[in-house]
Amino acid sequence: MDVIAEKDHSRIRPGGPPDGPPVRPLRIAMCPPEWLLLQRVMNGGPADATYIIQGYITEGLQARGHSLTFLASHHNLAEIACASDLQRPGRAPRTWSASRWFNIASKAAWRAQRWLGAPYLNLFSNYRLYDAGLQCLPGHDLVYERNSLYKYGVAMACKRLRLPYVLYFEADDILEHDIMGKPITGLLRWRASQAIRYNLNAANCVIVVSEPLKAHLTTAWSVPADKIVVFPNVADVRRFRPDPEARAEVRASWGVEARPLVIFVGNFYEWHDVATLLDAFARVWAANPDARLVLVGDGSRRQVMMQRAADLGLGRAAQFTGLVAHAEVPRLLAAADIAVVPYPPMETDLWLSPLKLFEYMAAGKAVIASAVGQLPDVVQDGRNGLLVPPGDVPALAATLQRLIGDPALRARLGRQARDDAVRKHSWEHYLSRLERVFAAVIDGQPVNLI
């Protein structure tokens, strides 16, 4: 498969895309849910997609000449770090929340909640974060925070300081827990709802990953549509690309040689329909004993899916790699012939914008995706991939069989997917638009037209 030529990104001017005007360097406060997880992904370690995305944003903004300060919990909720270097976290300065009386009150409240059997409601940890924000955030042009359950201290500080506040809202965590069958209940649900509502109300701009999520925020949380912008996920088209050398090396190490190879990359959560993929592959394997399936990643249902593969008698035909560093994923994808994005039918419209889809496309793979949520907006059936009904084992099996038997179709779909990823779904496009949104927020201009 041909590798599409790309621009030399080493010539990008700070604060602007390769062919666009430079953007004024900004002082941006970045507030991830946890310091250590962002630090780990920046060091090349394994991490969930949300931290991979925040890592790319961090790296991209720094490369464009913006000055970043990080403010986040470090090690535990009582310790807040603030520094411009992720590798050298410094303890955030605090005033009244560092006092002896505050700590006594915090410990007393915790003991009382345990004695009453009440959950920890994160009141004092939010006030620590609020106090730290009051000390660390002045002087910044803008604050960018990835929303997380129960946290609203940063939003409180931004409101007090009248700082522009951009909230990255990847998913409704309460709804997500409901779908996983692990609902947040009682006081914790009330507290989580309070925190989400406070952050959404405080934000000057809310960035979401899909139109379904935007619709959910406007209906379920009454967020004005004109302060929501949709940023679907994208891919690093320089790291994820067709790579014949890596393909040969990885296939040799897996012992697949010229055999058809199907891949899935992701976390084994309830909304990743690995069960349907395994059932469909079992049918394909019965007709094509040379076919192989590799499943990359970890998650709460990986052991269940491994047992399902064993029950289907797949044996060595289905290989589970476990969690791998994101830096290794481009090489693994290079080895595959077909890449699958499986989702089940769900009562709630899916809010997802799967990172894996865009990385599959950038790698030049023939993609099969479930026709749910925003996926049909990206995968145009028969042009840059193939769509199947969610949860439909026979349809997925037939589509896998079709691609296994038609190398020319695989190559054509992969080339078009790669071309679309480079032209429309790259981090360069994402960061250029993000800069424009930041500038609009700072200037008090509408963001929904960007």
For the chain, which residues make up each domain, given as ranges? 9-234+427-443, 244-424
Q: Bridge-partner residues for 208, per DSSP? A: 230
Which top CATH class is 244-424?
alpha beta
Q: In whole numbers, what is the pLDDT of the chain averaged over residues?
A: 91
**Which pLDDT score is estimated for 22?**
60
Residue 7 pLDDT > 70: no
- Can you count the helices (H) and strands (E) in the chain? 17, 13
Query: Greater confidence, 353 or 29?
Result: 29
pLDDT above 90 as % of the chain: 78
Closest CA to 418 of 330, 359, 354, 331: 359
- Kindly indicate the confidence band of residue 162, based on its pLDDT and cuts at 50, 70 and 90: very high
Which pTM value belongs to this model?
Answer: 0.90
**Which pLDDT score is estimated for 76?**
75
Which top CATH class is 9-234+427-443?
alpha beta
Q: How far apart are CA 360 and CA 356, in angstroms?
A: 6
Cα 199 to its chain centre, rounded Å, is: 19
Q: Is 16 exposed, middle or buried (0-12, 13-18, 19+ CB in 10 A)?
A: middle
Cα 284 to its chain centre, rounded Å, is: 31
Tokens at 266, concatenated = 């992701």
- Kindly indicate the confidence band of residue 3, based on its pLDDT and cuts at 50, 70 and 90: very low
* Average pLDDT of span 303-329: 94
Same CATH fold assignment for domains 9-234+427-443 and 244-424: yes
The DSSP letter of residue 4 is: P
Q: Bridge-partner residues for 230, per DSSP? A: 208
**Which pLDDT score is estimated for 10?**
31
* Average pLDDT of span 293-309: 93
- Kindly indicate the confidence band of residue 350, based on its pLDDT and cuts at 50, 70 and 90: low
Cα 127 to its chain centre, rounded Å, is: 28
CA angle 380, 384, 389 (to 5 degrees): 50
Q: Is 339 exposed, middle or buried (0-12, 13-18, 19+ CB in 10 A)?
A: buried
- Kindly indicate the confidence band of residue 5, based on its pLDDT and cuts at 50, 70 and 90: very low
Tokens at 408, concatenated = 């020319």
